[in-house]
Amino acid sequence: MPDAIISSQVGILAVLCAVAAFWFCVQQLTEWRLFDYVPPLLFIYATPLILSNTGVIPAATETYSPPIYGGLSAYVLPAFIVLMLIKVNVPAAVKVMGKGVLVMLMGTAGVIAGAVVAYVVVHRWLSPDAWKGFGTLAGSWIGGTGNMAATAEILDTPPDMFGLAVIADNVIYLIWLPILLTSKNFSAKFNKWTGVSEDRLALMDAAAEVSVEKERIPEMRDYIYLIGVAVFVTWAGTAAAENIHAAMTNAPNWINEVFSQSTIRILLITTVALILSVTRVGKLPNATALGTSLIYIFVAGMGARASLSGFAQAPAFLLGAFIWIFIHGAFCVLGAKIFKVDVHSAAIASAANIGAAASAPIVAAFHRPSLVPVSVLMALLGYAMGNYLAPIAGYLARFAAGQ
């Protein structure tokens, strides 16, 4: 075991939790405008990266990796997948946004197509496994940080490549969010160009008032229920994945490569959580907040496992991300034209993809405050799709590049 100042497993976990808590505490106490442009997520990833590469906590090497890092993947990751997905309310989002959901789906198609095109352009300057980083970033841009983490687990993305995805995600966020906000200034011309009906906005406002339910204040037993559901689904999904993978022993090699035991586990857990979202389990309060807190601890663990050497590829990766985001934008504009959707819905749809639940309400509040609650529902639709579609984007990029 490599020398480190803090080497016990509990100590490492304490450091990771402290790092996540520290940056949110700094954001809350200082209210620095920096955090309006650079979310705490980047710092939560970068701090353990520095700590592990300077010997404060152990780094993950080819010969040794602290068990706690594997424990985060085995237990924390499936738990937050369950907690995030049981809050998906597909009918409510479709009822209010209507064709706006179709624009979001066009944006999702743009994320997949953009991943393929961008990777084909820049892969010559990247390592052979960089397609996994592109698939991981697709997870964030289809759903959110939780999907990014889940896709990294599915594709077995190297921690340094995960870091490049985090960097690209945050850099693009700085560029794309102002574009989405500024689009409001062109609403009249845009709506005329798309041929949106005059009463669409009024109908959305009316539907939003009756379709979005407020969560009740959580009680102690709610947390017991949430933990019980998360642990049970994790156990059931893991056990089923082991049996399914064992039964695939004689399957062709490419099937075993794509559908690894980890992949099967994540997809099973995702599917069960989505099924539970339409039951009374989906009414449990505070699941999203609890799940999000686990995501940040997992991201801190990914940072601790990364090596600084992999970040030399950052310029080429970022170039690919810029190509990629404008392909996504073109798909959103095309979708708005095809389905005759207003600029407000199109901007919220793009934000629901690229920025997920953190950014969609910001864009909605700027464009049309009545749609803020529904923007969160649209972002959750992305969570529902991300674990299925993001790995496909990665594999398509790999295939297109001939790797």
pLDDT of residue 66: 87
Tokens of 2: 């490599």
| Mean pLDDT of the residues in the chain | 87
Tokens of 298: 């997992």
Tokens of 319: 């170039």
Question: For 102, how many CA atoms within 13 A lie in the half-sphere containing its CB?
Answer: 11
Neighbours of 31 (CB within 10 A): 10
**Positive or negative CA dihedral for 94, 99, 101, 102?**
positive
Distance between the two ends of the chain, CA-based, in angstroms? 35
Reported as a single tens digit per residue, the pLDDT across 213-225 is: 667 788 899 999 9
Residue 309 exposed, middle or buried by CB count within 10 Å (0-12, 13-18, 19+): exposed
Whether 381 shows a pLDDT value over 80: the answer reads yes
| Distance in angstroms (rounded) separating the CA atoms of residues 379 and 136 | 17
Mean pLDDT, rounded, for 12-29: 93
Residue 27 exposed, middle or buried by CB count within 10 Å (0-12, 13-18, 19+): middle
Q: How confident is the model at residue 322 (pLDDT cuts 50, 70, 90)?
A: very high
Contact at 8 Å (CB) between 288 and 273? no
DSSP string, 231-285: HHHHHHHHHHHHHHHHHTTTS-HHHHHHS-HHHHHHHHHHHHHHHHTTSGGGG-T
Q: How confident is the model at residue 331 (pLDDT cuts 50, 70, 90)?
A: very high
Reported as a single tens digit per residue, the pLDDT across 288-298 is: 889 889 989 98
Whether 1 shows a pLDDT value over 60: the answer reads no
Residue 333 one-letter amino acid? V
Neighbours of 399 (CB within 10 A): 11
Contact at 8 Å (CB) between 110 and 328? yes
pLDDT of residue 234: 94
Considering all CA atoms of the chain, what is the largest pairwise distance in Å, rounded to the nearest integer? 67
